[in-house]
Amino acid sequence: MTSDRSTSTPHSGHAVVLGAGIAGLLAARVLSESFDRVSVLDRDDLPGTGDTGDLGSGLGAGLGARRGVPQAGHLHALMDRGREILEELHPGLVTRLVAAGAPTSEALVGGRWYLQGRRVGPVSTGLTSVLASRPLLERELRRRTAALPGVRLLPRTAVIGLVGVGADESVTGVRIRAGAGDGASTVLAADLVVDASGRNSRSLDWLAAAGHPAPPTSRVTVDLGYASRIYQRRPEHLGGDLSVIISTTPGLRGGGAAAVEGDRWIVTLAGLLGEHPPTDDDGFRAFARRLPAPDIADLIGTATPLTDAVPYRFRESVRRHFEAVRRPPDGIVVIGDALCSFNPLYAQGMTVAAQQALVLRDCLSGGLRGLPGRFYRAVGPVLDVAWDMATSSDLRYPAVAGRRTLRGRVTGSYAARAQRRAHRDPAVARTLMRVVHLAEPPTALLRPALAARVLAPGAPRAITPAAPTVRDRLAVPHHEQS
């Protein structure tokens, strides 16, 4: 079947990736540097994998979300660190997205951000927001991945089990079923299996059934509801700005709108702890009007809808602590949402998937023996950053269920203070935004000069908006917490 699993021979052996989402495609990219064959399996159809160069056409009114990734029909913001890694792995990607109609802007300059009911900035951040829809980004990644030497994408191929998973065995392949699901199953042998099959991955069940201990799991229950709708975009909308994010904190309702390819807006409304946005026309508008800032309600009051609103329900953030397992099963690495799935309000998932791909690349240079353990140990601190940021904020809501720690409490309250200070202090606003974009570590907010500004009792310098709009001036401070 395969090569010697214990050695790291460049360009030898077969890697199998479960799932052609963002995590799977980026994993395939780095695996193609170490394996001569990489197979990416997905139960969905995967249109647009030919090198036709055509990205922008074929878009209907909707965004074209696949069945296997229903979240793709909702606003997906790519953090600057994610953009940077995608460019490193696929040089020229952003240029292609722009050519396909995706707008770009500097975060906090061409887009509005409301925190705790008040607008932050505009302030120069040096961060680029690429406003491609998730399906466009995925199509371009898919096209590039399929074009890599040795990589093949196998659409309409469901993985239905792992092979060789006994308690003392390595995973040596996957059991698959192609097509409509009624055919016979076959085995695909692999030197390494990478599970990137998302939040509902079955591999933990398969491993548990074979006697492998389940990793400890952290859960933070937020009961978040999304509703998203596509609108036609006109240049005068939102005063020419390209996005607006109205954060839920410290209330329960928030939302966002982003200009995407095809002169369209994707508008997403969101509510925590059961406060879910309705999808009917009147309910959707009414929910938007009750947000802490009027921008989204104003936008959808004048824009023409192109689709109905679609819902999504996200119950909890889940993190599987494989790093705490003494001997994680060999031959399989779990990555992406299957490993750690974040509250989407913080827009971290795609960027963290990209960070994980870089960690996997580093770990592959040490060969396949002990790779899973090395990967989980190395990726733990990367996940800690995003997980702590998101959950310390969520756990400030008393009704959110999850484990509260002193460190989390301190982090959450310091971050909330930095957010309030960001309204009036450009240096804090800039650093906060860079931390949110995972471009700088959270410790950047603790540097002495900055901490002094965050903690200062007096009034910090006021931000003078470059070109305040009437709506900006009318935005009322809301729900301020002390």
Ligand X SMILES: Cc1cc2nc3c(=O)[nH]c(=O)nc-3n(C[C@H](O)[C@H](O)[C@H](O)COP(=O)(O)OP(=O)(O)OC[C@H]3O[C@@H](n4cnc5c(N)ncnc54)[C@H](O)[C@@H]3O)c2cc1C
Q: By the criterion CB under 6 A, which residues form the site for ligand X?
A: 18-24, 41-44, 68-69, 71, 74-77, 158-159, 196-198, 202, 226, 312, 314, 336-338, 344, 347-351, 353
Least distance between ligand X and beta carbon 311 (Å): 10
Query: Of 243, 264, 263, whose CA–CA distance to 255 is shortest?
Result: 243
- 232 touches 104 (CB < 8 A): no
Q: Residue 455, Cβ neighbours under 10 Å: how many?
A: 11
> 335 or 454, CB closer to ligand X?
335
Least distance between ligand X and beta carbon 26 (Å): 8
> 196 or 395, CB closer to ligand X?
196
Distance in angstroms (rounded) separating the CA atoms of residues 192 and 171: 8
Q: Is the peptide bond before 122 cis (omega within 30 degrees of 0)?
A: yes
The residue to which tokens 């993985």 are assigned: 159
Distance in angstroms (rounded) separating the CA atoms of residues 339 and 199: 8
Distance in angstroms (rounded) separating the CA atoms of residues 134 and 248: 22
> 350 or 445, CB closer to ligand X?
350
Least distance between ligand X and beta carbon 257 (Å): 13
Report CA torsion sign: 14, 18, 20, 22. negative
Least distance between ligand X and beta carbon 143 (Å): 15
> 174 or 428, CB closer to ligand X?
174
> 19 or 250, CB closer to ligand X?
19
Least distance between ligand X and beta carbon 410 (Å): 26
Least distance between ligand X and beta carbon 465 (Å): 25
Least distance between ligand X and beta carbon 248 (Å): 14
If you ran DSSP here, which 8-state letter would residue 465 be given? -
> Which residue spans within 243-376 are E strands per DSSP?
243-246, 253-260, 264-271, 310-320, 332-334, 340-341
- 263 touches 388 (CB < 8 A): no
**Phi-psi region at 470: left, alpha or beta (left = phi > 0; alpha = psi -120 to 50):** alpha
> 29 or 453, CB closer to ligand X?
29
> 73 or 412, CB closer to ligand X?
73
Q: Residue 290, Cβ neighbours under 10 Å: how many?
A: 13
b/e per residue, 307-326, with b = 16+ CB within 10 A?
A: bebbbbebebbbbbebbebe
> 300 or 347, CB closer to ligand X?
347
Least distance between ligand X and beta carbon 353 (Å): 4
If you ran DSSP here, which 8-state letter would residue 467 be given? S
